[in-house]
Chain A
Amino acid sequence: MGFEYDVTMVSSYDTLYPCENITNGSGAGFWTTTGTYPQCLVITLKETTHVKSLELFSCNVKGLRIEGSASESEALNFEEITQQEIPPGNLQKTTVSDINGDFKHLKFDILSGHEHFASIHDLTVMNG
Protein backbone atom coordinates (compact mmCIF):
# COMPACT_ATOMS: atom_id res chain seq x y z
CA MET A 1 0.00 0.00 0.00
CA GLY A 2 1.04 3.58 -0.55
CA PHE A 3 1.87 6.22 2.02
CA GLU A 4 -0.64 8.92 2.80
CA TYR A 5 0.21 12.40 1.57
CA ASP A 6 -1.30 15.77 0.74
CA VAL A 7 -0.78 17.76 -2.41
CA THR A 8 0.67 21.00 -1.03
CA MET A 9 1.53 22.97 -4.17
CA VAL A 10 0.29 23.01 -7.76
CA SER A 11 1.07 25.35 -10.63
CA SER A 12 -2.34 24.92 -12.34
CA TYR A 13 -5.75 24.76 -10.79
CA ASP A 14 -9.08 23.90 -12.37
CA THR A 15 -11.86 23.34 -9.83
CA LEU A 16 -13.27 20.52 -11.99
CA TYR A 17 -9.97 18.61 -11.88
CA PRO A 18 -8.53 19.29 -8.44
CA CYS A 19 -5.14 17.95 -7.38
CA GLU A 20 -6.78 15.86 -4.63
CA ASN A 21 -7.82 13.54 -7.48
CA ILE A 22 -4.34 12.08 -7.73
CA THR A 23 -4.41 10.68 -4.20
CA ASN A 24 -7.68 8.80 -4.28
CA GLY A 25 -6.33 5.80 -6.15
CA SER A 26 -9.53 5.18 -8.05
CA GLY A 27 -8.15 6.44 -11.33
CA ALA A 28 -11.40 8.18 -12.17
CA GLY A 29 -10.37 11.74 -11.44
CA PHE A 30 -7.19 13.52 -12.43
CA TRP A 31 -5.33 16.78 -12.12
CA THR A 32 -4.64 18.64 -15.34
CA THR A 33 -2.27 21.37 -16.36
CA THR A 34 -4.08 24.37 -17.82
CA GLY A 35 -1.53 25.47 -20.36
CA THR A 36 2.20 26.17 -20.86
CA TYR A 37 5.20 24.30 -19.44
CA PRO A 38 6.91 23.79 -17.06
CA GLN A 39 4.30 22.77 -14.49
CA CYS A 40 4.90 21.65 -10.96
CA LEU A 41 3.25 19.69 -8.18
CA VAL A 42 4.52 19.09 -4.63
CA ILE A 43 3.26 16.40 -2.28
CA THR A 44 3.96 16.26 1.45
CA LEU A 45 4.02 12.99 3.38
CA LYS A 46 2.64 12.78 6.92
CA GLU A 47 6.20 12.50 8.23
CA THR A 48 9.70 12.01 6.88
CA THR A 49 9.56 8.55 5.40
CA HIS A 50 11.86 6.05 3.76
CA VAL A 51 10.67 5.94 0.17
CA LYS A 52 11.61 2.97 -1.98
CA SER A 53 9.55 3.45 -5.11
CA LEU A 54 6.69 5.31 -6.66
CA GLU A 55 4.16 4.79 -9.39
CA LEU A 56 2.66 7.52 -11.52
CA PHE A 57 -0.19 7.48 -14.04
CA SER A 58 -0.34 10.38 -16.45
CA CYS A 59 -1.25 11.64 -19.91
CA ASN A 60 0.98 13.64 -22.26
CA VAL A 61 3.82 14.10 -19.78
CA LYS A 62 7.15 14.19 -21.63
CA GLY A 63 10.06 15.61 -19.61
CA LEU A 64 9.60 14.71 -15.96
CA ARG A 65 11.92 15.56 -13.09
CA ILE A 66 11.27 14.21 -9.59
CA GLU A 67 12.97 15.74 -6.57
CA GLY A 68 12.81 14.96 -2.86
CA SER A 69 13.29 16.99 0.30
CA ALA A 70 13.67 15.87 3.90
CA SER A 71 13.05 19.38 5.23
CA GLU A 72 10.53 19.02 8.07
CA SER A 73 8.70 22.32 7.77
CA GLU A 74 8.89 24.18 4.48
CA ALA A 75 9.45 22.35 1.23
CA LEU A 76 13.07 23.38 0.68
CA ASN A 77 16.43 21.91 -0.35
CA PHE A 78 15.18 19.51 -2.97
CA GLU A 79 17.58 16.99 -4.44
CA GLU A 80 17.03 15.26 -7.75
CA ILE A 81 15.76 11.69 -7.65
CA THR A 82 15.31 11.16 -11.36
CA GLN A 83 14.80 12.98 -14.60
CA GLN A 84 13.40 11.11 -17.54
CA GLU A 85 11.53 11.31 -20.78
CA ILE A 86 8.22 9.49 -20.75
CA PRO A 87 7.16 8.00 -24.09
CA PRO A 88 3.79 9.03 -25.49
CA GLY A 89 0.84 6.79 -24.77
CA ASN A 90 -2.78 6.88 -23.90
CA LEU A 91 -2.42 6.51 -20.14
CA GLN A 92 1.28 6.55 -19.22
CA LYS A 93 2.47 4.37 -16.36
CA THR A 94 5.80 5.33 -14.86
CA THR A 95 7.47 3.32 -12.12
CA VAL A 96 10.50 4.69 -10.31
CA SER A 97 12.15 2.08 -8.10
CA ASP A 98 15.36 2.00 -6.05
CA ILE A 99 14.77 5.50 -4.73
CA ASN A 100 15.81 4.54 -1.17
CA GLY A 101 15.81 7.98 0.40
CA ASP A 102 14.19 9.63 3.40
CA PHE A 103 11.79 12.32 2.27
CA LYS A 104 9.04 14.52 3.59
CA HIS A 105 8.25 16.31 0.32
CA LEU A 106 8.35 15.15 -3.28
CA LYS A 107 8.32 17.56 -6.18
CA PHE A 108 7.20 16.65 -9.70
CA ASP A 109 8.25 19.02 -12.46
CA ILE A 110 6.58 18.48 -15.80
CA LEU A 111 9.22 20.10 -17.96
CA SER A 112 7.50 19.45 -21.27
CA GLY A 113 4.53 17.64 -22.73
CA HIS A 114 3.62 15.53 -25.73
CA GLU A 115 0.72 17.93 -26.28
CA HIS A 116 -0.30 21.34 -25.02
CA PHE A 117 -1.94 19.93 -21.86
CA ALA A 118 -0.91 17.09 -19.56
CA SER A 119 -2.58 15.31 -16.65
CA ILE A 120 -1.69 13.27 -13.60
CA HIS A 121 -4.22 10.63 -12.64
CA ASP A 122 -2.68 8.73 -9.77
CA LEU A 123 0.42 8.80 -7.69
CA THR A 124 1.43 6.13 -5.20
CA VAL A 125 4.51 6.40 -2.99
CA MET A 126 5.68 3.06 -1.58
CA ASN A 127 8.18 1.44 0.77
CA GLY A 128 8.40 -1.70 -1.31
Chain B
Amino acid sequence: MSNVLRTNCAIIGDSCVGKTSVINPENSGKNYEMTLGCKISVKSVRIPDTKYKVDIFVHDCSGKQLYCDILDRLWSDVTLIIVAYDVTSEASFRSVKDWHTRCTKATQEHPTFGVLLACKTDLSNRRTVTLAQGESLAKELGLQYFECSARDGSNLDASFFYLAHEWYKLYMEKVESFSNAQL
Protein backbone atom coordinates (compact mmCIF):
# COMPACT_ATOMS: atom_id res chain seq x y z
CA MET B 1 0.00 0.00 0.00
CA SER B 2 1.26 3.46 -0.75
CA ASN B 3 1.09 6.71 1.13
CA VAL B 4 -0.79 9.38 -0.73
CA LEU B 5 0.29 13.01 -0.80
CA ARG B 6 -2.20 15.51 -2.17
CA THR B 7 -1.88 18.86 -3.83
CA ASN B 8 -3.99 21.38 -5.72
CA CYS B 9 -2.65 22.57 -9.05
CA ALA B 10 -4.10 25.23 -11.31
CA ILE B 11 -3.43 25.22 -15.03
CA ILE B 12 -3.85 28.75 -16.33
CA GLY B 13 -3.22 30.75 -19.46
CA ASP B 14 -5.17 32.31 -22.34
CA SER B 15 -8.12 30.51 -23.92
CA CYS B 16 -7.26 28.01 -26.65
CA VAL B 17 -3.58 27.57 -25.77
CA GLY B 18 -4.22 23.86 -25.12
CA LYS B 19 -4.71 23.61 -21.35
CA THR B 20 -7.62 21.18 -21.42
CA SER B 21 -5.83 19.05 -24.01
CA VAL B 22 -2.77 18.67 -21.79
CA ILE B 23 -4.98 17.15 -19.11
CA ASN B 24 -7.17 15.15 -21.50
CA PRO B 25 -4.99 14.56 -24.57
CA GLU B 26 -7.75 12.53 -26.24
CA ASN B 27 -9.56 15.86 -26.75
CA SER B 28 -6.75 17.52 -28.66
CA GLY B 29 -8.01 16.34 -32.06
CA LYS B 30 -11.56 17.42 -31.48
CA ASN B 31 -13.30 20.69 -32.08
CA TYR B 32 -12.65 23.35 -29.53
CA GLU B 33 -14.85 23.09 -26.49
CA MET B 34 -14.71 26.00 -24.13
CA THR B 35 -14.05 25.16 -20.50
CA LEU B 36 -16.68 26.84 -18.33
CA GLY B 37 -15.41 28.06 -14.98
CA CYS B 38 -13.21 25.32 -13.65
CA LYS B 39 -12.95 21.54 -14.02
CA ILE B 40 -11.03 19.29 -11.68
CA SER B 41 -9.27 16.07 -12.62
CA VAL B 42 -6.68 13.99 -10.80
CA LYS B 43 -3.20 13.07 -12.02
CA SER B 44 -1.60 10.33 -9.95
CA VAL B 45 2.17 10.15 -9.98
CA ARG B 46 4.09 7.37 -8.26
CA ILE B 47 7.46 8.43 -6.82
CA PRO B 48 9.89 5.67 -7.84
CA ASP B 49 11.66 3.68 -5.12
CA THR B 50 9.43 5.08 -2.39
CA LYS B 51 6.08 4.19 -0.87
CA TYR B 52 4.66 7.50 -1.99
CA LYS B 53 2.19 8.53 -4.63
CA VAL B 54 1.19 12.12 -5.32
CA ASP B 55 -2.37 12.92 -6.33
CA ILE B 56 -2.39 16.23 -8.15
CA PHE B 57 -5.86 17.76 -8.26
CA VAL B 58 -5.62 19.75 -11.46
CA HIS B 59 -7.97 22.70 -11.69
CA ASP B 60 -8.48 23.46 -15.34
CA CYS B 61 -9.52 27.07 -15.34
CA SER B 62 -11.24 28.92 -18.10
CA GLY B 63 -9.11 31.63 -19.66
CA LYS B 64 -12.19 33.78 -20.10
CA GLN B 65 -12.41 37.05 -18.23
CA LEU B 66 -15.96 36.18 -17.16
CA TYR B 67 -14.74 33.64 -14.65
CA CYS B 68 -12.05 35.74 -13.01
CA ASP B 69 -13.90 35.97 -9.69
CA ILE B 70 -14.09 32.22 -9.37
CA LEU B 71 -10.39 32.00 -10.11
CA ASP B 72 -9.33 34.48 -7.48
CA ARG B 73 -11.16 32.45 -4.83
CA LEU B 74 -9.83 29.14 -6.08
CA TRP B 75 -6.25 30.31 -6.09
CA SER B 76 -6.12 30.73 -2.36
CA ASP B 77 -6.17 26.90 -2.13
CA VAL B 78 -3.75 26.29 -4.95
CA THR B 79 -0.19 25.23 -4.25
CA LEU B 80 1.15 24.41 -7.71
CA ILE B 81 0.66 26.23 -10.98
CA ILE B 82 1.11 25.46 -14.63
CA VAL B 83 1.10 28.57 -16.79
CA ALA B 84 0.51 27.50 -20.37
CA TYR B 85 0.93 29.26 -23.70
CA ASP B 86 0.74 28.31 -27.37
CA VAL B 87 4.09 28.38 -29.21
CA THR B 88 2.27 29.66 -32.33
CA SER B 89 0.73 32.60 -30.47
CA GLU B 90 2.88 35.48 -29.27
CA ALA B 91 -0.16 37.04 -27.65
CA SER B 92 -0.59 34.00 -25.40
CA PHE B 93 3.11 34.19 -24.51
CA ARG B 94 2.80 37.86 -23.61
CA SER B 95 -0.14 37.03 -21.30
CA VAL B 96 1.93 34.61 -19.23
CA LYS B 97 3.25 37.30 -16.90
CA ASP B 98 -0.25 38.62 -16.14
CA TRP B 99 -1.55 35.16 -15.33
CA HIS B 100 1.43 34.46 -13.16
CA THR B 101 1.19 37.76 -11.30
CA ARG B 102 -2.51 37.35 -10.58
CA CYS B 103 -2.07 33.82 -9.33
CA THR B 104 0.92 34.50 -7.12
CA LYS B 105 -0.82 37.54 -5.63
CA ALA B 106 -3.75 35.38 -4.61
CA THR B 107 -1.52 32.70 -3.09
CA GLN B 108 1.04 34.91 -1.37
CA GLU B 109 0.45 33.37 2.00
CA HIS B 110 1.44 29.94 0.69
CA PRO B 111 4.05 30.45 -1.97
CA THR B 112 3.48 28.26 -4.98
CA PHE B 113 5.94 26.73 -7.34
CA GLY B 114 5.25 25.72 -10.86
CA VAL B 115 5.82 25.16 -14.50
CA LEU B 116 5.86 27.28 -17.63
CA LEU B 117 4.38 25.04 -20.31
CA ALA B 118 4.90 25.66 -24.01
CA CYS B 119 2.09 23.86 -25.86
CA LYS B 120 1.51 22.69 -29.44
CA THR B 121 5.15 22.00 -30.35
CA ASP B 122 3.88 19.74 -33.17
CA LEU B 123 3.10 22.93 -35.13
CA SER B 124 6.79 23.57 -35.71
CA ASN B 125 6.34 25.36 -39.04
CA ARG B 126 3.96 27.88 -37.46
CA ARG B 127 5.98 28.31 -34.30
CA THR B 128 6.75 31.93 -33.38
CA VAL B 129 7.85 31.65 -29.74
CA THR B 130 11.26 30.03 -29.49
CA LEU B 131 12.66 27.66 -26.93
CA ALA B 132 15.14 30.33 -25.79
CA GLN B 133 12.35 32.88 -25.21
CA GLY B 134 10.40 30.33 -23.18
CA GLU B 135 13.37 29.33 -21.08
CA SER B 136 14.32 32.90 -20.37
CA LEU B 137 10.79 33.84 -19.24
CA ALA B 138 10.62 30.74 -17.05
CA LYS B 139 13.85 31.75 -15.37
CA GLU B 140 12.58 35.28 -14.80
CA LEU B 141 9.37 34.00 -13.18
CA GLY B 142 11.03 31.22 -11.21
CA LEU B 143 9.19 28.49 -13.07
CA GLN B 144 10.46 25.25 -14.58
CA TYR B 145 10.21 25.21 -18.37
CA PHE B 146 8.62 22.32 -20.30
CA GLU B 147 7.41 21.89 -23.87
CA CYS B 148 4.72 19.49 -24.99
CA SER B 149 2.25 18.57 -27.68
CA ALA B 150 -1.12 17.07 -26.88
CA ARG B 151 -1.53 16.30 -30.59
CA ASP B 152 1.49 13.99 -30.93
CA GLY B 153 1.52 13.12 -27.24
CA SER B 154 5.08 14.21 -26.62
CA ASN B 155 6.27 15.16 -23.15
CA LEU B 156 2.78 15.39 -21.66
CA ASP B 157 3.61 13.78 -18.32
CA ALA B 158 6.89 15.58 -17.72
CA SER B 159 5.46 18.64 -16.00
CA PHE B 160 3.21 16.57 -13.72
CA PHE B 161 6.13 14.33 -12.90
CA TYR B 162 8.26 17.33 -12.02
CA LEU B 163 5.55 18.91 -9.84
CA ALA B 164 4.87 15.63 -8.03
CA HIS B 165 8.57 15.24 -7.26
CA GLU B 166 8.87 18.78 -5.96
CA TRP B 167 5.82 18.24 -3.75
CA TYR B 168 7.28 15.01 -2.43
CA LYS B 169 10.61 16.72 -1.68
CA LEU B 170 8.85 19.55 0.14
CA TYR B 171 6.88 17.03 2.18
CA MET B 172 10.07 15.18 3.17
CA GLU B 173 11.67 18.46 4.24
CA LYS B 174 8.65 19.42 6.34
CA VAL B 175 8.23 16.11 8.15
CA GLU B 176 11.93 16.28 8.93
CA SER B 177 11.40 19.71 10.50
CA PHE B 178 8.36 18.40 12.42
CA SER B 179 10.43 15.67 13.99
CA ASN B 180 12.83 18.32 15.30
CA ALA B 181 10.14 20.72 16.49
CA GLN B 182 10.51 22.11 20.01
CA LEU B 183 8.60 24.55 22.16
Contacts and interface: CB of A to CB of B under 8 A. Distances in A.
Contact of A35 (B1, B167, B181): B167
A17 B4 CA distance: 12
Contacts, number: 64
Interface residues of B, number: 24
Contact of B3 (A16, A30, A115, A121): A16
Contact of A36 (B3, B6, B174, B182): B6
B32 interface: no
Contacts of B183: 90-91, 93
B181 A90 contact: yes
A65 B177 CA distance: 24
Given A17-B175, A117-B174, A119-B178, A35 B3 contact: no
A37 interface: yes
A91 B182 contact: yes
Interface of B: 1, 3-8, 51, 54, 57, 77, 79, 110, 167, 170-171, 174-175, 177-179, 181-183
A36 B8 contact: yes
Given A17-B175, A93-B183, A34 B5 contact: yes
B7 A121 contact: no
Interface of A: 12-17, 30, 32, 34-37, 59-60, 90-91, 93, 113, 115-117, 119, 121
Contacts of B181: 59, 90-91, 119, 121
Contacts of A34: 3-6, 171
A17 B6 CA distance: 16
Given A32-B174, A113-B110, 18 more contacts: A15-B51, A16-B3, A17-B175, A32-B178, A34-B6, A35-B79, A35-B171, A36-B79, A59-B177, A59-B178, A59-B181, A60-B174, A91-B183, A116-B110, A117-B174, A119-B178, A119-B181, A121-B181
A74 to B, nearest CB: 25
A13 to B, nearest CB: 7
Nearest to B110: A116
A59 to B, nearest CB: 5
Contacts of A60: 174
Nearest to A90: B181
